Structure 1
């Protein structure tokens, strides 16, 4: 009976989407192009180097080396192996869903247990500085100081989530805790030995390793692009059909409990589906203070948006890593980020404005003085070219291997 119900729901939703696409073809096409532009201009070129680098570092045993060195830090703090430090740093630098992608690779190579993977994926998927400073603070709000507040609250609250998740299923991981006590000793010699042994296990030639790294990264990024386009179209269709405004009207009462204006309900709902679209709508909403907008953006940054959730769930689906702990951790991250934003709004934003008298306009001089803004603007210019080139390289590699 349960499976029959699932079949009815899945088929009903699919038919509903098909009819909606036929009803609003022009608007759906416009939304799809907007999602495609976001993917090939920024997402693909910004994530590809991190994905390829992560694949190569795993293949050459460098992650094993890092893991042994950082075991005395990561195990007491987050109750995960030292290799989790690599996942955390890469996820923080490149943004979601890099943390989930690398966690899955570590699980496939049996460098971490199932429970450790579920802990790790819960706090290694966060927004990148490129998105917070480049897209949100400079692109949407035209206020660089807001990026400092959002970034600090986002990363600090994510670290607190990791500390909370260290207690997740702790009673079921006695064996890993006993094994980890033997790994607390800092030893560069043992780290080098483990790195060498890991590299020797993979006897593929260098060219094949590079090809695998490129292909695996492109496959994941194409999947991510599909989700971005799908949710961009879905948000537009829900708005055209009057579903989003109806849900937003119900959400007005929820926001009023926290002293937030009604006109943030629809942008907040959109942000729960896709962060970029929601953040842009929030920046355009009229509010009494910027704090109200910052609070809502902090929550959707921590929650990640259902588009990111779908990407992470798809990446985790081929392993035994469960998605539910990640979902709970995202709710916790959003909640903690909101509390920190309220507390730190005055010292990290208002006081800085008072000292400098006015906000800094986003001019060309400011852009060239900020590394994240510089990267963001270069990606907008050269991102499509990079995307097309690497998709072509991937096609050539696949063609030669099949031939």
Structure 2
């Protein structure tokens, strides 16, 4: 009973600090408590930081760094113009975006968080898109990568590759629905013209690409490590665990579900792993995992903010609520499909399906584009 009194006092103090806009004091108190925790539990803190570094080196860096270098080189040699002309009509039409957004969409589809935000910001800073479209693109070109959903979550954690395709489908359809919910830009798209005749010096382009990729990777490594520490603090914190128990008894919800959701909304990898170990039915597991993948979590949102903080047109509040809405939509889609018939997911042979991971998103958008074009043709009265 005493712990509930402490929890009430802590929540009340935080509420009052927020209510009277004493944010500096609030964060000072929070960070002071974290420092005290580090001093009292140095072994846990060091171990969690090492764990975050190992995750980055083994899983994130090998795919992120070369991809960043190649994408930067692509931009140096007019990749934005090329992609807008070739892929723009297919990728951007169903999403009500200008063709210039095709590069950011492609990168988001192939690699996932947070590169969609990075290259959306690059398009805006280079003048290819305007403010309204930039803020809209950030929510649309913001997806979980297919390798993470199909490989890490479905295959490694849930033990079934087919379920990954369901979550991937829900992720992209929820993104498409968000493009319908968020009003398109009223400003005219910028004509980017033809490819430039000038060619950059290859050595100079490679040097700049490497520098930019290295800087981005260091930033991402910092986020992965610090959020690994935060997750460790929460997992081993008596107050947090007591709060989860209190909520569980109040809402009559399984403690494992609440724990997975709270930790997953902080960092999705941990949340999805905890969901895979919970003793709940597979339909709810997949639906909650789909929610976490579409929502992305505080770690990814912080990484997105690291690219967008310089631009006043970007609202972190709007981005957060839109990602939350996208997560809910993804949850509903996954739950609906699973409720109809979960067995229908096993359509393709595992080896065949795995070899076509990257084709699926483009096929979905191509079908949507053709569908919308057909509708416009049928109902065009001009």
User: What TM-score does the superposition give when structure 2 sets the normalisation length?
Assistant: 0.80
The verdict on how the C-alpha distance between 1:194 and 1:26 changes in structure 2, with shifts beyond 3 A counting, is same
Change over 3 Å in CA distance of 1:367–1:24 after alignment to 2: farther
Label 1:273 to 1:196 Cα distance change in 2 as closer, same or farther (>3 A): same
Q: Give 1:12-161 correspondences, 5 Å limit.
A: 12-69=29-86, 72=89, 77-161=94-178
List aligned pairs for 1:240-251, cutoff 5 A: 240-251=236-247
Task: Give the distance between the partners of 2:313 and 2:62, measured in 1 at CA.
Answer: 28
Aligned to 2:261: 268
Within the candidate set 221, 225, 232, 1:229 is matched to 225
In terms of fraction of residues, the more helix-rich structure is 1
Hey, what does 1:195 align to over in structure 2? 195
Instruction: Specify whether residues 220 and 251 from structure 1 end up closer, same or farther in structure 2 by C-alpha distance, changes over 3 A only.
Output: farther
How much has 1:284 moved relative to structure 2? 0.6
Name the CA shift for 1:8/1:33 in 2 (closer, same or farther; >3 Å). same
* TM-score, with structure 1 as normaliser: 0.76
- Alpha-carbon offset, residue 338 of structure 1: 0.8
Structure 1 residues 222 and 348, CA gap change in structure 2 (3 angstroms): farther
- What's the offset of the Cα at 1:150? 1.1
Residue equivalent to 1:370: 354
RMSD: 2.9
Number of equivalent positions: 339
2:306 to 314, 317, 321: 314
Say which of 243, 248, 254 aligns to 1:252.
248
Q: Which moved more, 1:318-327 or 1:13-22?
A: 318-327
* Residues 334 and 250 of structure 1, relative CA distance in 2, 3 Å threshold: farther
2:284 to 281, 292, 296: 292
The superposition leaves residues 224-267 of structure 1 with CA deviations (integer Å, 9 ceiling, x where unpaired) of: 111111111111112322233233235436875xxx63421111
2:205 to 205, 209, 222: 209
- Is the CA contact (8 Å cut-off) linking 1:148 and 1:348 kept in structure 2? no
Name the CA shift for 1:254/1:159 in 2 (closer, same or farther; >3 Å). farther
Residues 104-144 of structure 1, C-alpha deviations (whole Å, 9 max, x = no match): 11111011111111100101111111111111111111111
1:53 deviation in Å? 2.2
The Cα shift of 1:319 comes to 3.0
Q: Structure 1 residues 43 and 195, CA, compared in 2 at 3 Å: closer, same or farther? A: same
- The 1:278–1:255 alpha-carbon spacing in structure 2 relative to 1, beyond 3 Å, is farther
Looking at structure 2, the residues matched to 369 and 293 of structure 1 have their Cα atoms a distance apart, in angstroms, of: 22
Q: What is the alpha-carbon distance in structure 1 between the residues aligned to residue 170 and residue 332 of structure 2? A: 9
- Correspondence for 1:345: 338
For residue 164 of structure 1, what is the aligned residue in structure 2?
181
Say whether the 8 Å CA contact 2:170–2:333 is kept in structure 1: yes
Partner of 1:399: none
Shift of residue 305 of structure 1? 0.7
Q: Which residue of the partner structure matches residue 329 of structure 1?
A: 322
For residues 292 and 309 of structure 2, what CA distance do their matches in structure 1 show?
Answer: 24
Q: What is aligned with 2:235?
A: 239
Superimposed CA distance per residue, residues 63-118 of structure 1 (whole angstroms, 9 cap, x where no aligned partner): 12322455555665434321212211211110100100101111110111111111
Instruction: Indicate if the aligned counterparts of 1:44 and 1:221 stay in contact, CA closer than 8 A.
Output: yes
Deviation at 1:15, TM superposition (A): 1.6
List alignment gaps of at least 5 residues for structure 2: 1-16, 358-382
SS of equivalent to 1:78: coil
Q: How far off is 1:163 after superposition?
A: 2.5
User: 1:210 deviation in Å?
Assistant: 0.9
The residue matched to 1:16 in structure 2 has which SS? Answer: helix
Relative to structure 1, the CA distance from residue 141 to residue 69 in structure 2 (aligned partners, 3 Å threshold; closer, same or farther) is closer
